[in-house]
Each structure stands twice: as structure tokens, then as C-alpha cells.
Chains A and B, each alone.
Chain A
Amino acid sequence: MTFLVIGIDAATWKIIKPNINELKNFRRLMKIGRYKTLILNEKPISASAWCSIFSGKTPEEHKHKAFVENGNLKTRDDIKVDFIWDILHKQNYDVRALNIPFVIPPYNFNCKFKPVGYGLPETPDEWQEELEKVTSKAIEILEEKPDLLCVVYSLLDRIQHFHWNEPIVLEWYKRIDSVIGKLILYADKFIIISDHGFCDRDDAEVQTLPEKTPRGEIKGDHDKEAILITNIDYDIEKLQDVFYAIMEEMKNGQGNYGNGI
């Protein structure tokens, strides 16, 4: 059995729900599973949010706030918590993490992967490259039937910052929808989650980026409404619950997942 967690950085119901008929995999998974809006208690910042999702710790506990601190890139080693993969690996589960953007470049565990554009894809070519490379690496891993794969696509966040309210955004949701359809074939249990939502820059909870940047005007920014779609029963109310949901699933799946606990 494989438990698959697909993270989609910055995915929002604001795009998915009004366009659900064009996003057939989202529609199908929402129908066979459960879906909800996760309202973040913390600031909607990716570095901190992905850290919470995969460590089960609040920002106060993991103390990881941003990709860069005092002009230096934060690294895995700066974050003094164990992640789900650290813990389950020690319990002999076959766990992989692919392209997890709580640090830049995104983090990988137990797999070899070079993130596209250091996890900061800038152009349509790089967005497409990330989509393809992450998907093909994820499929390669899934064919080995790991107990758990956590994989994150970061491109939507970049696209939405610069193109919010433009038709191009939906186009990339459709492409994400298509790759989800491919990955989900390998999963018995799944969680699809975003680290925060998205909205007009002026309405945003936090302005993570200035209005004018060397790459153009910032049109959208993060809000506190993340998406969740899952077929497991665990009641996920906040980001950290994803960690506990996975742990619970692994425990309950004893005998089905690897050589676990």
C-alpha cells in the first residue's frame, strides 16, 4: 500500500471550485474522498507552512519562518525538528520526500532529484519542466511501491503571484489536474493539500513580496484558506494534523505498510 501526499503550493478553491468541470481529477477525488478548506491559524508563509505540515509542529515550535534569514539561506540543518520521513524511516518504513519547499532548494529525502530552477521556476518553460520532472520522478518512486511519498509542486505559487486574475492561471491548474490523475493511480490513501490559499494582493493576509519586483508586478498573494482533499478518515483541522494523520494511518496499516512498527 502506498500513502501519497501531494502538496500543491498556493492551490486555492477560488480557482478550483468555479472551474471544477474543467478539472476532472480534482472533481473525481473530491467526489470519492472528502474535501474542506483549512483555515490557517498562522501566517500563510510557505517555508513555515510546509514545515508545519510535515513536522506536526506549530511555527512557535519549529521556529522556521522564512527561506532567508539575515541574508543567509536557511537549510534543513537549521530546523531543529524531525520530519515525518525522519521518524518513519527510523521505523523501517520506505519513505520518500520529493521537492518539499520548506527550504530553497526544496528538500528531498531518500531520492535523488535536482529541483528545477532551485525550486524557484521563473518562466513558462521552467514551470512546465517542474511539472514534468516532478511527475516523472514521482512515478518512478511510486513504481517502487514505497510506504509513503510526499511530493510538492511549487509552480502555481510563482504563476499566481505574477498572473493572478489572468486566464493563464486556470491553464496551469488544468495541467496540475492532469498530473494528479497520473499519480493518484498508484495511491491507496491520499492527501492533497496546499500550504495556503491565494487572493488579490491588496486583500492578502500577508504581502510576502513587494508590489514591484525585478520580474514584474506582483498581482496576487497568500491568504489563509488552504485546500484539502483526502480519502482518509482522520479529522484534519489544521496544517500540523497532516503529520498526525499520516502517523495514524501508518500505525493502523500495520502489516500493510512495509516493515513498519
Chain B
Amino acid sequence: MDKEIMEMGFEEKVEKSKDVIREAVERFKDKIAIAWTGGKDSTVVLGLTRELFNGRVPIPVLFVDTTVKFKETYDFINKLKREWNLNLVIARNEDALKKIEIAKDRERCCHLLKTEALNMAIKNNGWKAIIAAIRWDEQEARANEKYFSPRKNHIRVHPILHFTEKDIWDYIKSRNLPYHPLYDKGYRSIGCEPCTKPSVEGGSERSGRAQDKEEIMRRLRDFGYF
């Protein structure tokens, strides 16, 4: 994490992000795609790309479909695909979908339906780089990521590493960017429907996905609530 960059003004951060996207597109030309989940962060990356390229997204946009995203997610991506004229590439791990029980073993499910599906899409499309919307402040594991991070078979490009959650909302607000409707219903982070809880207010941004209710219930029990 680069503290100096994190402390830049909001518009400076926006320019920094656009510089990273510009450099990535120039460097990888038609061998790069943007990973889009329909969530706020990757939608901001699309917004930044459109800002940079006069309202166009000149590279493919990859949506990894686990088939158990929220209905609102499918509606939202289809709406923006039409309105922003996106070259949307849908990736699914069809083999795994036939074999596994969704969300039973969460780690395996995520690996097969997300990571594997992504890797297959990279291979099938001959991409050398993927633009991903991760942020330094999101979780500790991401604090050491770089703007250009090599992976086994491609380069991961991270243009909004230095955005905070507030910067994301400031960007959405300042650019009047459309955003996923579930954020207005208390969700802070949106994944697949079986593994994303409606709201874990007060927890970390991603805690809705794996909340530890046990400790809360223990405390409530100890206080005599039930």
C-alpha cells in the first residue's frame, strides 16, 4: 500500500487510475479485458474507462457467471451492456456446474466457478492481461498488490488500488454513475446469492459474505437476550 497515493486528492486519484488503464490498454492492445461483477468497484472501473475513451469501453468486458448471482445483478449488467454498448463476454465453467453442489464447499465452489472460469476465459480468448477492481483497503490480503501484478498465465491490472470505499461512492456520485440496486438495500459487497448475506452492518465491507454470527449469538446469550 502506498500511503502517499492513498492520501492524494480525489480527482488526483481518478487521474492516477486513468493513467493505469491507459498504460494497460496501450501495452496489451487487443489482449486485455476488464473483469466486471456488476458490483460498485468494477462498475467504477468501467466508468473510468469510458471517461478515458470518450464514452466507449474499447476492450472486452468479462462477466464470470456462476449462475447464482442475484437477479438484480443480471438485470443490471444487461442494462449497462445495452446502454454502454459493451462487448460483454460471459464465462461459465459448464463442466463444474454439472458436477458440484453450489455453495456446499464454498472454497471449492468459488475456485471452480470463479477462478477456473476466469482462467478458461483468459486462455480461450488469448488475453494477456485482466483489469480487476481490487482495492488496498478492502482486506489485508490485498494490501501488497501492485498496479501491474503478474499471475501465472497473465498480468492482473489494478487501476483502483488506491481508492477507498468512500472514493468509490464519491466517484459514483460525482459522475452520476448507475450502480447495483442492492446497495440501496443495505448490502455493501455483492457476490453470489447463496453466500452473500443481506447485511452485516458494522462489519468489514466484505464481511457479509462470511459473517461470524456465532460470536454475536454467544454475546447475546451471555447478556441474557435469550
Report which of B164, B169, B186, B217 forms a contact with A76, defined as CB distance below 8 A: B186
Q: A103-125: which have CB < 8 Å to B?
A: 103-108, 110-115, 117-120, 122
Query: Are A75 and B199 in contact (CB-based, < 8 A)?
Result: yes
Q: B175-214: which have CB < 8 Å to A?
A: 184-187, 197-205, 213
B209-224: contact bitstring with A at CB < 8 Å (1 yes, 0 no)?
0000101110111111
Give the CA-CA distance A71 to B214 in the complex, in Å.
12
Quick one: given A76-B199, A108-B201, A113-B202, are A118 and B216 in contact (CB under 8 Å)? yes
- Chain A residues near B169: list those with CB within 8 A: 110
Query: Are B224 and A213 in contact (CB-based, < 8 A)?
Result: yes
Interface residues of A (CB under 8 A from B): 67-68, 71, 73, 75-78, 86, 92, 99, 103-108, 110-115, 117-120, 122, 158, 161, 209-210, 212-215, 218
Q: Nearest CB to that of B186 among chain A residues?
A: A76
Give the CA-CA distance A67 to B187 in the complex, in Å.
18
Task: Tell me how far the C-beta of A86 lies from the nearest C-beta in chain B, rounded to whole angstroms.
Answer: 8
State the interface size on chain B (CB cutoff 8 A): 31
Task: Tell me how far the C-beta of A257 lies from the nearest C-beta in chain B, rounded to whole angstroms.
Answer: 16
Quick one: given A77-B186, A114-B203, are A214 and B216 in contact (CB under 8 Å)? no
Query: Are A68 and B225 in contact (CB-based, < 8 A)?
Result: yes
Query: Are B201 and A213 in contact (CB-based, < 8 A)?
Result: no
Task: Tell me how far the C-beta of A116 lies from the nearest C-beta in chain B, rounded to whole angstroms.
Answer: 10
- Interface: B165 (CB within 8 A): yes
User: What 4 pairs between A and B have smallest CB-CB spacing?
Assistant: A213-B224, A77-B198, A105-B202, A107-B201
> Looking at chain A's contact residues, is the secondary structure mostly helix, strand, loop, or mixed?
loop
Give the CA-CA distance A110 to B221 in the complex, in Å.
30
Quick one: given A75-B197, A120-B223, A215-B222, are A114 and B216 in contact (CB under 8 Å)? no
Query: Are B219 and A120 in contact (CB-based, < 8 A)?
Result: yes
- Chain B residues near A120: list those with CB within 8 A: 216, 219-220, 223
Quick one: given A68-B220, A214-B222, are A77 and B199 in contact (CB under 8 Å)? yes
Task: Tell me how far the C-beta of B84 lies from the nearest C-beta in chain A, rounded to whole angstroms.
Answer: 23
- Chain B residues near A213: list those with CB within 8 A: 222-224
Query: Are B202 and A75 in contact (CB-based, < 8 A)?
Result: no
Query: Are B201 and A105 in contact (CB-based, < 8 A)?
Result: yes
Q: Nearest CB to that of A107 among chain B residues?
A: B201
- Chain B residues near A114: list those with CB within 8 A: 202-204
Task: Tell me how far the C-beta of B209 lies from the nearest C-beta in chain A, rounded to whole angstroms.
Answer: 14
Give the CA-CA distance A78 to B213 in the complex, in Å.
16
Report which of B137, B200, B205 forms a contact with A105, defined as CB distance below 8 A: B200
Give the CA-CA distance A49 to B186 in the complex, in Å.
20
B118-142: contact bitstring with A at CB < 8 Å (1 yes, 0 no)?
0000000000000000000100000
Quick one: given A68-B225, A213-B224, are A117 and B219 in contact (CB under 8 Å)? yes
Q: Nearest CB to that of A103 among chain B residues?
A: B201
- Chain A residues near B215: list those with CB within 8 A: 118
Quick one: given A105-B203, A107-B201, are A161 and B186 in contact (CB under 8 Å)? no
Query: Are A119 and B202 in contact (CB-based, < 8 A)?
Result: yes
Give the CA-CA distance A107 to B200 in the complex, in Å.
8
- Interface: B82 (CB within 8 A): no
